Amino acid sequence: MWGGCGWWWWEVHETGRSEGSRPPPPTWSTTPLQCAPRHRGGPRLKSPPRRLFPSRRLLADKYKTKERETGEERKSLQVRVVSLAMALYVEAMSVLERAERKEGSLKSLVYRSSFKNVKQLYALVCGVLRYEPVLHQLLESSRLLRSEKRLDRQLAKLLVFDLLLGHGVKCGGRWKVMMKRHAAELGSALARMKVRHGVSTNLDLLTAVGGRAATKEVLLPRYARVNTLKTTVDDAVDYFKRQGFTFIGAADCAQTVDDLKGKRFARDIDVPEVLVFPPKTDLHDDQLYKLGNIILQDKASCLPAFVLAPPPGSQVLDCCAAPGNKTSHLAAIMKNKGKILAVDLSTERVATMSTQLLRAGVSCHRLQCADFLALDPHDPSYARVQYVLLDPSCSGSGMVGRMGGAADRGGDSGGVDGTGQTASSQERLRALSAFQARALRHALGFPGALRVVYSTCSVHQQENEDVVRQALADSAGAFRLVHILPEWRRRGLPVFPGAECCVRADPHEDRTHGFFVALFERNAGGGGGGDLVKPGGGGNGGDVDTAVPSLELRRDLGCPDGQNQEKEEEANGGGMETLVKSGVTEGGKTKKKRKRNKNKRKTCADST
């Protein structure tokens, strides 16, 4: 009855048996009542198919089910993508609002957000702030805000920027429908603005509307410092060759750096352990980076430790150390021999630094969460400090937006570019300069310090040459400036004798972030240094305000080192909460106080 192909097809497709094991036709030795599909006392069995082969309807229903499942998965994925894009605009709107209320620097607000893709968020916010004058006029000339009364102004700026000046609105849903409805009107308003100002490009329009020259975007190369604690430069070069990169030798000039295209890379001529890759080369997923064999650090950020050059076995003080890239560079130069005391005011940044140093294989460090200005230079624990690296908080005006091309704003540097500074930005520069001047005098006050390097990622004279001049005047001849990097063409501004000993880095000329480095060296017979912090300053240092910001203001002035932003956004300091509560960690472990028990001391006679 059920024999032949019909039984075999039903067994394969209904019971899941393999095609190779075709069962024999059933015999009628089984009680017929057990085969009845709906018999009251027997099992409920599926009825055999009526057709010998599956009908077209059965096959169609089967494939429709698969298509429906695939469609639901695709729709679910689209919903997740749309939700992620909408979350981007929501987070960007929140950052813009908090930056407008001066709740912190733009970088700190972005890194504090819960959005995972920090680069994308930072690029969007920087783009909106950069074209804010243009966006303001577009919103005023169009009817977008008048038609959409429930639309937030900051959200409108974000959507209009992506629609007209970016890469299109990324989200879906009602926001995208709304922008499509107003796209023609907004495009016409932008075209009328260009005709009215006689320009043809968006950059020229920004120059005309903003009232100042728009900074030309600079694409910086990707710098990677080889961590010599774990590998060698030659081994790293061989590794990248095996990955398909072409090594072209030493990058001896800016033109050589500009010629880096595709998968070509070079070795820096000034800092030998630095490799240079084309702009936008992403090495975050590379195995060497994950293992800590290379550290993504801008070339200019490598200069302070490179010129300080403490020999192995030295005692080094890293004053404002977080997030730890310069600390790991110092450890590599010292070959993990000696001691590095890394101090930072922020608990979170100390946790970040601990994670970075652990991955870099640094073992000669000692972390301390404290205010550097509160350290006593005459304390016996700092008596052996020979080398000091000071990279204090600064305006970050030398930062080139690798992620957006815009200067930091929103309570950080206020868009300061050396021209047209606002009153608030000038006031902030004075506060930063006062803090930096006192920090440098404090660093020079350690009695055993032989060399002190001072660096900032700022282009302002108030934070660089003026601070150095003030410190030299207060040192009363105990220190002198060292002429560092003789082959470097850009020197300090000639505002005092000896300023040419300092170096400046320029994004356009040197293909690095804007940077300033000065190296102090103790004069022979210059005395013990003593406390160089003198009330009222002296000498030629009248350009620097001696009023020091409070501890709370210094926390607000804190600006993460721009060259190490990739490190800060990726580091996870969750496991360091209990470690840094004690204030001091050593070599990645908590430093414990050992109590001596005199009663347990036994002499040889007692033991016998």
- The whole-number pLDDT of residue 454 equals 98
How high is the pLDDT of residue 531? 40
Burial of 149 (0-12, 13-18, 19+ CB in 10 A): exposed
Highest mean pLDDT: which of 186-200, 256-270, 332-346?
A: 332-346
Give yes or no for residue 312 having a pLDDT over 80: yes
Q: What is the DSSP string of 440-494?
A: HHHHHT-TT-SEEEEEES---GGGTHHHHHHHHHHHTTSEEE----TT---B--S
Mean pLDDT of 470-489: 95
- Cα 578–583–584 angle (5° rounding)? 100
- Residue 437's closest CA among 519, 534, 530? 534
Over the stretch 496-525, which tens digit does the pLDDT of each residue have? 999 999 999 999 889 999 999 999 999 987
Find out whether 286 is annotated in a ligand binding site.
no
Read off the DSSP letter of residue 377. Answer: T
- The answer to which of 293-297, 337-341, 562-566 has the lowest mean pLDDT is 562-566
pLDDT at position 217, please?
A: 61
pLDDT in tens, 16-39: 555 555 555 555 444 444 444 445
- Would the annotation count 391 as a binding residue? yes
- Please determine, for residue 248, whether its predicted confidence score (pLDDT) is greater than 70: yes
- The CATH number assigned to the domain with range 222-296 reads 3.30.70.1170
Q: State yes or no: 325 annotated in a binding site.
A: yes
* Lowest-confidence pick of 189-198, 227-236, 419-428: 419-428
pLDDT at res. 424: 58
Whether the pLDDT of residue 298 is over 80: the answer is yes
Q: Are 203 and 213 in contact (CB under 8 A)?
A: no
**145 or 46, higher pLDDT:** 145
**What's residue 47's pLDDT?**
54
Confidence at residue 534, expressed as pLDDT on a 0 to 100 scale: 35
**Which pLDDT score, from 0 to 100, does residue 110 have?**
81
Is residue 330 predicted with pLDDT exceeding 80?
yes
Question: Which range (69-73, 125-129, 440-444, 562-566) has the least confidence?
Answer: 562-566
- DSSP, res 389: E
| pLDDT of amino acid 420 | 42
In this model, does residue 369 exceed pLDDT 90? yes
366, pLDDT greater than 90: yes
* Residue pLDDT, tens place only, 418-448: 334 545 578 888 999 999 999 999 999 999 9
Query: What pLDDT score was predicted for residue 567?
Result: 40
Top pLDDT among 365 and 137 is at 365
- Tokens representing 519 are 């190296």
What the block records as the tokens of 598 is 């005199």
Q: What is the pLDDT of residue 374?
A: 93
Specify whether the CB–CB gap between 559 and 412 falls below 8 A: yes
Helix, strand, coil percentages (3-state) for the chain, rounded to 5, are: 45, 10, 45
pLDDT, position 569: 38
**123 Cβ contact list (under 8 Å, min separation 6):** 401, 403, 404
Q: What is the largest CA-CA distance in the chain?
A: 117
Q: Within 10 Å of residue 2's Cβ, how many Cβ atoms? A: 13
**pLDDT greater than 60 at residue 73:** no
Say whether pLDDT at 347 is over 80: yes
For the chain, which residues make up each domain, given as ranges?
Answer: 1-54, 74-210, 222-296, 303-589
Cβ atoms of residues 331 and 365 within 8 Å: yes
Using DSSP, state whether 505 is helix, strand or coil: strand
pLDDT band at residue 130 using 50, 70 and 90 as cut-offs: confident
Cα 385 to Cα 475: distance, rounded to the nearest angstrom: 18
**Predicted pLDDT at 474:** 94
For residue 564, say whether it is annotated as part of any ligand binding site: no
Is 153 a residue whose pLDDT tops 50? yes
Evaluate whether 354 touches 573 at the Cβ level (below 8 Å).
yes
Whether residue 457 lies in the annotated active site:
yes
Q: 334-339: which pairs have CB atoms within 8 A and are 24 or more residues apart?
A: 334/310, 334/364, 335/228, 335/229, 336/229, 336/361, 336/362, 336/363, 336/364, 337/312, 337/313, 337/364, 338/310, 338/312, 338/313, 338/314, 338/364, 339/314, 339/315, 339/364, 339/365, 339/366
Task: Check whether 326 is labelled as a binding-site residue.
Answer: yes
Looking at the DSSP assignment, which residues form a beta bridge with residue 145? none
For residues 426 and 489, is the Cβ–Cβ distance under 8 A? no
Percent of the chain with pLDDT over 90: 37
Instruction: Say if residue 92's pLDDT is above 50.
Output: yes
Rg (CA), the chain: 33
Pairing of strands 365-369, 584-586: antiparallel
Fold identical between 222-296 and 303-589?
no
Average pLDDT, the chain: 75
Q: Which fold has domain 303-589?
A: Rossmann fold (3.40.50)
Question: 250-262 pLDDT, tens per residue?
Answer: 887 777 787 888 9
Active-site residue identified among 171, 364, 457, 501:
457
**Does pLDDT of 468 surpass 50?**
yes
Q: Which amino acid type is present at position 341?
A: L
pLDDT score recorded for residue 346 = 85
Report d(CA 410, CA 63) in Å as an integer.
56
The annotation status of 323 as a binding-site residue, yes or no, is yes
